[in-house]
Structure 1
Amino acid sequence: MDPLAPAHPTWVMLLIAAVAVAVLLVLIAKVKLHAFISLVLVSAVTAIAAGIPVADVPTAMLTGFSSTLGSVALLVAFGVMLGRLLEVTGGAQVLADTLIGAFGEKRAPLALGVAALIFGFPIFFDAGLVVFLPIIFAVARRFGGSILIYALPTAGSFAAMHAVVPPHPGPVAAATELGGDIGLTLLIGVPVAILAWIPGAYLVGRWLGARFTPEPTNVFAIDENDEETSANEAAAPSFATVVLLLALPLVLIGLNTVVTTLQAAGAVSEDATWASALVLIGQTPVALLITVLVAILVLSPGRFPVGRASEILDQALGPICAIILITGAGGMFGGVLRTSGIGEALSTSLSDLGMSLIVQAFLIATLLRVAQGSATVALTTTAGLISAQVAAAGLGGFDIALLVFAIAAGATVLSHVNDSGFWLVSRFFGMDVITTLKTWTVLETTLGLSVFVIASVLWVVVP
């Protein structure tokens, strides 16, 4: 559903959005109304207050809900299936033990974060986080302490790669809109993401993790006294097998990226059957489905009958229903804010701020991110707003890449209740809304600011 022209002045639209967020926080944190009900209720009232025609309110709500579920539900479902198989067979523990053996117990969060940076190169934030969940829980179970000590640096790795580095859709769309070079953006983006992750996600994540101790429900939990479980652990898969299973979706998605890039460059025909096949199997949900099927075939011999896989996977799917619904409702709320025209109202008032282009890019992306929640929408909208100024300035590929990073930084900070990723992190790691604001929102903000500082320094220093 396309955004409407704003029905009220900009300040009124922003006031509506602020009040909606405040009411949502009160309902969830103070009244203790279920998050799913609160999100749906506030979305409906906000849609009406923002001037969306009453007859169009259900469509506006369902558009945001269904688009979020379409991108999240399959990824979460297949991801937890894979995680459950790795946990039940002892594979997650094997990987955790090997990483800890290589890095040491004190560097366990660093080990998980570095692994996530590598796996996060082609995999979206949602999919990467879900695939890594059993490993995070396995490490936390072994060493104790807050789950956030291990979860926040890992989630921050996926967030950094997703926001800054092509082939993720946000930076690709922004670089394309600004007339930049995707390859150059990729080459510069990788070190920028890593350098920003160290202070912005790793150090901050460990600091926050030591101060907050939620008690999440481990969706991969197994019965330690079960005889079959003990037999499975005795016949746990090798480290190489686990790594290959985790790398399989990365390879498939990577092939999709390569082929799509070659097709866009005209090096490969879009009608080539083999290319279409690689693009298909490299779609994230399809890649994860293939990986789950391969995991069943590879892990079942000597550990569990293939027929018992259904029971194992059912045990994984049950606990995540609430997570998926709440995440979808968060997407609904963000979708209503977008459809209401709040983003357009901001765009109209902020398109010419009369300041440095890189600062302007960051501020516009930040305000769009706060107003409507979607980082990708903030990236693409901001790039479109400043594209004329970029073209008039005649900037080179390096400077355009820095602008992309500044926009990505603004689109990362201040994740809150209108962001579906906020709810994914909140529910998986057992945090209430206030705790999530004090941890995940803070981490996303420090990560985004770190990216912006690096981009700004390079903007000034490099001629």
Structure 2
Amino acid sequence: MDPIDPAYGTSTLMIIAALAVALLLFLIIKVRLHAFISLVLVSVVTAVAAGIPLVDVPAALTSGFGSTLASVALLVGFGVMIGRLLEVTGGAQVLADTLVGRFGEKRAPFALGVAALIFGFPIFFDAGLVVFLPIILTVARRFGGSVLYYALPAAGAFAAMHALVPPHPGPVAAGTVLGGDIGIILLVNLPIALLAWYVGVFLVSRFLGSKFDVPVPDMLFGEVNGGSNGSDTATKTIAPSFATVISLLAIPLVLISFNTVLTTLIAGGSIDEGNSVVDFLILLGNTPIALLITLLAAIAVLGTRDRTLNETTELLDKSLGPICSIILITGAGGMFGGVLRASGIGEALTSSLSDLGIPLLLQAFLIATALRVAQGSATVALTTAAGLIASQADGLGDLRIALLVTAIAAGATALSHVNDSGFWLVSRFFGMDEKTTLKTWTVMETTLGLSAFAIAAVLWPIAG
């Protein structure tokens, strides 16, 4: 749903947004009301309080909820089924053993993060996270300690690549709006993303892991090599080879790479639209389709090794039960963010920020941060902030435009909180309550964004 004309001034809208977030946290943390119920309730109250016409309130609610589910439900569903097959057949353990054997126990978190950086080059944050989940949990279970030691480096790697590096849609859209060269943006932002990940994610995750002892959750996959899964573990025999597991994980990597690269080339005019072969490859690389193909391959290669197809189907059916809550809560988080977008809160705030006369790079960062805080979506914050400062980017060279994209992406990464669907994915996947997620994931996303912005600020004078 498109934003309506704001019913109130900027200050009033910001007070409404702040009160809405405070009410949501109060209901979830203090009252202990279920997060799904709390998000829907606060979304309704916020929509009415922000002046959205009553007849439009249902559309504002269902628009954000439906669009989030459209992008998340299939990914989480297919991803969890792939993960369950990897875990039960021993594939995740094979990957974990190989990573540890190559890097050592002490470097296991670093190895997970590096693998996620590579895997995250073409794959979106949520898709990469669900596919990597069994690997993260298997490594964490093997060595013990807080799951944050292993989860944050990998999740932060996917977040960094998704926000900062083409061909992901946010930086591509922002670069296009600003008139930049996507190739130069890639060359500039890739090393910035790697350095920002190391400083703002990996080093920070070591501190957060030592401060917050979050046990490895059993919610998604049950106990690994334990007795609670009955026939699931009893039917295990010889685990698949490392090459087999890597080949399966490479399927979505390759297919999604086709999609992202070809879509970028079409947008840049290098490939003409309407080519049936190109369109077919783009279809195969659509993330849900790519994960569906991967799941079918995993069923054929892993699911029928020591089980009948009926037993594998039963196993996959059981894997979907625990994620119902995750999907609904994530959708409700998207609903809350959608209501904030529809109310015009983000636009009202950023229009006032753009008139302050602050330096362009800092202005880009602050506007993107304000949009991120106001409505939750990093991609929306990226594209909207780029549009708001586009007129000021005229005449800048390609290097400075690339750094502007960095600053916008940095702001759009910081301060992930309860109106961000990614916040709820991380919270539920790794078994954290909302308070702990704010103290860990939100902090790490902010340090990632600040690290990227600091690098851009250092390079800005040199790029002039």
Give the 3 Å change call, closer, same or farther, for CA 354–228 of structure 1 in structure 2: closer
Partner of 2:446: 445
Query: For each residue in 1:264-313, what CA deviation from the matched residue of structure 2 results, as whole angstroms up to 9, or x when unmatched?
Result: 34443322211111010100000000000011111134322223221111
Give the 3 Å change call, closer, same or farther, for CA 154–434 of structure 1 in structure 2: same
Q: Distance in 1 between matches of 2:280 and 2:27?
A: 48
Partner of 2:177: 177
Per-residue deviation, 1:205: 1.1
Q: Distance in 2 between matches of 1:301 and 1:217?
A: 25
- Larger mean Cα displacement after TM superposition, 281-290 or 209-218: 209-218
Q: Is the 8 A contact 2:181 2:398 kept in 1?
A: yes
1:319 aligns with 2:330: no
Q: Is the 8 A contact 1:259 1:279 kept in 2?
A: yes
1:237 aligns with 2:240: yes
Q: How many residues align?
A: 460
Partner of 1:249: 252
Q: Distance in 2 between matches of 1:262 and 1:449?
A: 31
Task: Report the secondary structure of 1:236's partner residue.
Answer: coil
Instruction: Choose which of 253, 278, 282 in structure 2 pairs with 1:275.
Output: 278
- Larger mean Cα displacement after TM superposition, 215-224 or 288-297: 215-224
TM-score by length of 2: 0.97
Query: For each residue in 1:151-203, what CA deviation from the matched residue of structure 2 results, as whole angstroms up to 9, or x when unmatched?
Result: 01110000000010011111011000000011111111111100000010011
Letter in 2 for 1:224: G
Task: Report the secondary structure of 2:305's partner residue.
Answer: coil
Q: Distance in 1 between matches of 2:137 and 2:242?
A: 17
1:259 aligns with 2:258: no
Per-residue deviation, 1:364: 0.8
Per-residue deviation, 1:417: 0.6
Q: Is the 8 A contact 2:265 2:271 kept in 1?
A: yes
Query: For each residue in 1:357-415, what CA deviation from the matched residue of structure 2 results, as whole angstroms up to 9, or x when unmatched?
Result: 10110011111111111111111111001100111xx1111110000000000011111
Q: Is the 8 A contact 1:217 1:429 kept in 2?
A: no
Q: Distance in 1 between matches of 2:374 and 2:220?
A: 33
Structure-to-structure mapping, 1:302-341, within 5 angstroms: 302-341=305-344
Give the 3 Å change call, closer, same or farther, for CA 355–278 of structure 1 in structure 2: same
Structure 1: 5+ residue stretches without partners: none
Q: Is the 8 A contact 1:224 1:230 kept in 2?
A: no
TM-score by length of 1: 0.97
Letter in 1 for 2:404: L
**Runs of 4+ in structure 1 displaced over 4 angstroms?**
225-228
Q: Is the 8 A contact 2:410 2:453 kept in 1?
A: yes
Q: Is the 8 A contact 2:219 2:431 kept in 1?
A: no
Partner of 1:224: 226
Structure-to-structure mapping, 1:138-177, within 5 angstroms: 138-177=138-177
Q: Distance in 1 between matches of 2:8 and 2:247?
A: 54
Structure-to-structure mapping, 1:82-97, within 5 angstroms: 82-97=82-97
Task: Report the secondary structure of 2:413's partner residue.
Answer: coil
Structure 2: 5+ residue stretches without partners: none
Q: Is the 8 A contact 2:88 2:232 kept in 1?
A: no
Task: Report the secondary structure of 1:346's partner residue.
Answer: helix
Per-residue deviation, 1:227: 6.4
Give the 3 Å change call, closer, same or farther, for CA 265–389 of structure 1 in structure 2: closer
Per-residue deviation, 1:88: 0.7
Q: Distance in 2 between matches of 1:415 and 1:227?
A: 40
Q: Distance in 1 between matches of 2:59 and 2:218?
A: 34
Measured on the aligned residues, the alpha-carbon RMSD in Å equals 1.3
Q: Is the 8 A contact 2:399 2:463 kept in 1?
A: no
Partner of 2:402: 401
Q: Distance in 1 between matches of 2:82 and 2:36?
A: 26
